[in-house]
Amino acid sequence: MEEKDIENLIKKSNEYAKSKGFNLNPNNAVVSGVVKGLLIRKDGFGEIYCPCRKMTGDKKADKRIICPCIYHEEEIKKDGHCFCNLFVK
C-alpha cells in the first residue's frame, strides 16, 4: 500500500461525504486507520470491504459492506457517525 493510494481514497471518501451532506471524521488518525483497513481488504479480497464488518466469503452478500456500505447513511442519521467512524454528521 502506497501513500498515494491512502491519499486518493481519503480524497474520494471526502468528496463522497460532501456530496451526501456529511463529513469525514475530523480525527485524521481514525480516517487513516479506516482507509488503511479498506486498502488492506482491497489487496486481499479485491474490494474495499469495510474493515469493521465481518465478511461472509460470499461475494454477493459481501457486496453490502463495500465502502460506503449500505448501512452508513442510517447509522449517521441515528448515531451521528457510521459504524467504523469514517463518516460523521
Instruction: Summarize pLDDT for 6-52 with one digit per residue, the tens.
Output: 999 999 999 999 999 999 999 999 999 999 999 999 999 999 999 99
Whether the CB-CB separation of 9 and 51 falls below 8 Å is answered with: no
Beta bridge mates, 49: 66
pLDDT at residue 87 greater than cutoff 90: yes
Please report the pLDDT score of residue 88 as a whole number.
Answer: 98
Q: What is the pLDDT of residue 78?
A: 97
Query: Which CATH number does the domain housing residue 18 bear?
Result: 3.90.460.10
On the question of pLDDT at 65 being above 90, the answer is yes
User: 14: Cβ–Cβ under 8 A, 6 or more apart, which residues?
Assistant: 23, 24
Distance separating alpha carbons of residues 73 and 78, to the nearest angstrom: 9
Amino acid at 45: F
pTM for this one? 0.92
pLDDT of residue 1: 72
Entry field: residues in the chain:
89
Number of domains, the chain: 1
> Which residue range is the domain that position 10 belongs to?
3-88
